Amino acid sequence: MTRKLVAAIACRNQGSRLYGKPIQNLDVESGIRILDNIVDCLGTIDCIDEIVLGISDGVENEVFKRIADEKGLRYVVGDEIDVLGRLVDCGKLAGATDIFRVTSESPFLYFEEVEQYWSKYCEDDADALFMDDVIDGCGFEFISLKALESSHQNGESRHRSELCTLYIREHHSDYKIIKVAPPGKLNRKDLRLTVDNPEDLTVCRIVYGVFKEQAPRIPVGTVVDFLDANPELITMTAPFVEAGYATMYRWGEHG
C-alpha cells in the first residue's frame, strides 16, 4: 500500500496564559513566528508529503487562513475543543493514510530521526508510533488515520480534545503501537521548549536568536548544551515543568 504522510497542525489563538502562541514572534525584527519555524522545518523532511493546518472556529483564528495562503498550505476549519476531529479532517482533506503530529506552539522539533522512525513505522505496519520521554515540545507522533477515526468514533468528549492520542493510549491493546526513546541527552524533565507562558516565549526567543542561522533545522541537542551553559534560562521556566510533563503522556489499563 502506498502511504501518504500528512503533518497536521492544530491551530488556535485562544490561551489563558499567553494569547496567540503560534503567531508569537521568535524573531521580532524579522517577523519569524513560532508557526513559521515549525512549518519550514517540516518542509525539509522528505517523508512528509503535505502540511495541513487544522484551524479552530472563530474570527480570532482567521489569521491562520492567511498564513496557510502565504505558505501555500491547505487547511480545514473546525470545532475549537474537538482537536482530534480537526486532525481527522486534515487527513481526509489531503488523502492521508497517516498523520504526523506536532503542536503549533513548539518551535524546535527533534527532526533528526523522523525519517528513520517513519521507515520503522511503515515496516512494522503500526497504528501509532510515540516518542515519549523527550523534552516537552520537541517530540512527535505518527498515527494512522484509521486509528484516529476510530478514536473519534468510539471515544468520549475527553478524547475528542487536545489529548488526541488519549483513546489509543488507554486502549493500547487494541492497536499496534511502537514506543521509541530519544537519545538520553534529550530525556530532560527539567527542560521545556514549548510556549505556554511568557517565560517560555522569552527562552525560545533567546534560543532562536543564538541559533537562527541554522533555522529552521536547529538541533535540539545543541539547544540543550546552550541551556546547560545558561542555567538562568532553565530557572526561568522551572515553575512550569512539572505540570507540563504530568499531562503529556497518559497510559490507561483498558483494552
What is the rounded CA–CA span in Å between residue 21 and residue 35? Answer: 9
Say if CB 146 and CB 127 are below 8 A apart.
yes
Does residue 253 lie in a domain region?
Answer: no
Does residue 62 lie in a domain region?
Answer: yes
Within its chain, how far is the Cα of 83 from the centroid? 12
Range of the domain at 138: 5-246
- What is the pTM for the complete model shown? 0.93
Given a cut of 80, whether residue 198 has pLDDT beyond it is yes
CA torsion angle 212 216 217 218 (round to 10): 30
3-state helix, strand, coil in the chain (%, to 5): 45, 15, 40
C-alpha cell at 44: 525539509
Given a cut of 80, whether residue 90 has pLDDT beyond it is yes
Within its chain, how far is the Cα of 32 from the centroid? 18
User: What local confidence, expressed as pLDDT, does residue 163 receive?
Assistant: 81
Does residue 96 lie in a domain region?
Answer: yes
User: What local confidence, expressed as pLDDT, does residue 235 receive?
Assistant: 97
Q: How many domains does the chain have?
A: 1
Does residue 255 lie in a domain region?
Answer: no
pLDDT tens-digit readout, 118-161: 999 999 999 999 998 999 999 999 999 999 999 999 988 788 78
254 pLDDT band (50/70/90 cuts)? Answer: very low
Does residue 254 lie in a domain region?
Answer: no
Which position has the higher pLDDT, 217 or 19? 217
DSSP symbol at 101 = E
C-alpha cell at 148: 484516529
Does residue 203 lie in a domain region?
Answer: yes
Closest of 195, 177, 176, 189 to residue 133, by C-alpha: 189
Contacts 24+ apart (CB under 8 A), 72-78: 73/39, 74/50, 76/52, 78/54
Does residue 228 lie in a domain region?
Answer: yes
Burial class (CB in 10 A: 0-12, 13-18, 19+), 248: middle
Express as a percent the part of the chain with pLDDT over 70. Answer: 95
Q: What CATH number does residue 32 fall under?
A: 3.90.550.10
Given a cut of 80, whether residue 215 has pLDDT beyond it is yes
What is the rounded CA–CA span in Å between residue 205 and residue 201? Answer: 6
User: What local confidence, expressed as pLDDT, does residue 48 receive?
Assistant: 98
Does residue 251 lie in a domain region?
Answer: no
User: What local confidence, expressed as pLDDT, does residue 23 receive?
Assistant: 96
Given a cut of 80, whether residue 16 has pLDDT beyond it is no
User: What local confidence, expressed as pLDDT, does residue 242 receive?
Assistant: 83
